[in-house]
Amino acid sequence: MSKTLIIAEHDAHELNPSTAKCASCAAAIGQDYDVVVLGSGIDNIAGQAAAIDGVGTVHAIDAEHLASPLAANHAAEVCAMAEGYSHILGPSTTFGKDLMPRIAALLGVNQVSDIAAVTGPHDFKRPIYAGNAIVDVQPPQEVAVVATVRVASWPSAADGGDAAIEARAANATPCGHTRYVSLQSGGGERPDLQSANRVISGGRALASEENFELIYKLADLIGAGAGASRAAVDAGYVPNDLQVGQTGKIIAPDLYVAFGISGAIQHITGIKDAGTIVAVNKDADAPIFEIADIGLVGDLFTVIPEMMQLLE
């Protein structure tokens, strides 16, 4: 039977919103779908996955060596349970991008990266050239489809599911060659960039880590996530996890506000699916104005404090 398996993403405390987005893609493929949660101490996560609408079974593989998301360990487990699944989906987050190609190679297939739309169970649309072209791709029917789901293209599947949870024993032995050391998390308490409804971003123009406080303050005032251009990250004003764009996060908030960002194609790639794009830039010729729904030619250092006063 044709069935889809979704690899859950989580940080041991919470299921990542990317999993519910994969579920929307799975629903579009039109077959029954299950979720597998890999990790250590994951009862809570499995419960969250079971609540996603439409999920058939949640497989929970709980083992100490799965505590950190090392692709070599996770790929071996997924391959051990792959039989019976015609499609295996993971998110196009760094977690999925790291893991899914390893699974694909072990199963002997190419991966479909970044599914943006489904036109049939073996017929997908995906972006190439930083989103400047869209291609229709058809993976073969007779082997498993391994794919990443472009999370910015998909809504979160609703809650309300009540899937059965089945514990499974780990099958493969831990790989000895790769060891997890640590995670230095940049993120504070602000909404997660990839699921925030509103995002306030700053570019090179912010000119320092201290000045970036302006972006954070405005973001906090309206409950937005904070983002940045590559230039701002490279210069050390903000941690890397704030980067939006081709090599950062691809996001689709209802509102995206860019302060002092010129609008290079690699940045635009990351925000093309936003509902409304606002740009504030002191250069009237900045390319970002070509795609902004609302533009303001002005100095961000005066505009932001004025906005805050009006919004308070």
Ligand X SMILES: Cc1cc2nc3c(=O)[nH]c(=O)nc-3n(C[C@H](O)[C@H](O)[C@H](O)COP(=O)(O)OP(=O)(O)OC[C@H]3O[C@@H](n4cnc5c(N)ncnc54)[C@H](O)[C@@H]3O)c2cc1C
Residues 231-260 that bind ligand X (CB under 6 A): 231-232, 243-248, 260
Please state the closest distance from residue 163 (CB atom) to another protein, in A.
26
Distance of alpha carbon 258 from alpha carbon 277, whole angstroms? 8
- The SS3 assignment for 67 reads coil
Q: Is 200 in the site for another protein (CB under 8 A)?
A: no
The CA-atom distances, in angstroms, between 303 and each of 259, 306, 308 are 9, 5, 9
Please state the closest distance from residue 200 (CB atom) to ligand X, in A.
14
**Of these partners, ligand X, another protein, none, which one is at the site of residue 30 (CB under 5 to 8 Å by kind)?**
none
Q: Is 306 in the site for another protein (CB under 8 A)?
A: yes
Cβ–Cβ under 8 Å, residues 90 and 7? yes
| φ and ψ at residue 105, rounded to 5 degrees | -65, -40
Distance of alpha carbon 129 from alpha carbon 88, whole angstroms? 25
Please state the closest distance from residue 54 (CB atom) to another protein, in A.
25
What burial class does residue 137 get, using C-beta atoms within 10 Å of its C-beta: 0-12 exposed, 13-18 middle, 19+ buried?
middle
**Of these partners, another protein, ligand X, none, which one is at the site of residue 152 (CB under 5 to 8 Å by kind)?**
none
Q: Hey, what are 278's tokens? A: 């606002």
**Of these partners, another protein, ligand X, none, which one is at the site of residue 46 (CB under 5 to 8 Å by kind)?**
none
Residues 6 or more apart from 210 whose CB is under 8 A from it? none
User: CB neighbours (10 Å) of residue 142?
Assistant: 5
Please state the closest distance from residue 128 (CB atom) to ligand X, in A.
14
Q: Is 281 in the site for ligand X (CB under 6 A)?
A: yes
For residues 185 and 189, which CB has a smaller minimum distance to another protein in the complex?
185
Q: Is 156 in the site for another protein (CB under 8 A)?
A: no
The amino acid at residue 141 is Q
Among 267, 277, 278, 295, binds ligand X (CB under 6 A): 267
Among 2, 44, 211, 266, binds ligand X (CB under 6 A): 266
The footprint of ligand X (CB under 6 A) covers 203-205, 229-232, 243-248, 260-262, 264, 266-267, 270, 280-283, 286, 299-301
